[in-house]
Amino acid sequence: MQRIWAPWRMDYIRGLDGAEAAEDKGCIFCWKPREDPGQDEANLIVARRQHCFVIMNLYPYNNSHLMVVPYRHTCDFTSLSDDELLDCQQAVRDAVRAMEQSLQPQGWNIGLNLGKAGGAGIDQHLHWHVVPRWVGDTNFFPVLSDVKVISESMEDSWRRMRDAFARL
């Protein structure tokens, strides 16, 4: 029997994903980029731009699942300025380029989940998901046991994505 170890997922499974501690600080997408850039690895931020930043999803659907987040706290897509929207879309494009260089995915899931009804886990601060996909990357684990196997550590994924963004 093979064992799949993903101990970082236990907090998520138990529902203790740090939400209680994060509530004290406010919106996670607001306070993380305000911290010192020297904390970017701990905060999983791989790139900073003028109007947005790129952060790894702590509970990814696939290796190197990224999110592009405007600095401004808003859940209203139509409130984004032209400069914010352009910077965010260019960051999504750069995320695709970075992943193409470092991961060679065969496809993508890219998009926004707006509002609770739209599936947003953090519904008060909009963000784009950029998820690399490969043929066969889904298997019976998520269907039968609500488990997803992520084959690379968060630390290794962060370094890979940070370095790929730096090469752009």
**pLDDT tens figures, 107-160:** 999 999 999 999 888 999 999 999 999 887 765 455 445 555 666 788 989 999
Q: What is the pTM of this model?
A: 0.81
Q: Which residues are catalytic?
A: 127
Residue at 79: amino acid letter: S
Q: Under a CB-based contact definition with an 8 Å cutoff, are residues 148 and 142 in contact?
A: yes
Band (32; pLDDT cuts 50, 70, 90)? very high
What is the set of domains in the chain, with CATH numbers? 9-167 (3.30.428.10)
Whether the pLDDT of residue 66 is over 60: the answer is yes
pLDDT score for 30: 96
Cross-strand partners of 70: 52
pLDDT score for 79: 98
Band (71; pLDDT cuts 50, 70, 90)? very high
Residue at 35: amino acid letter: E
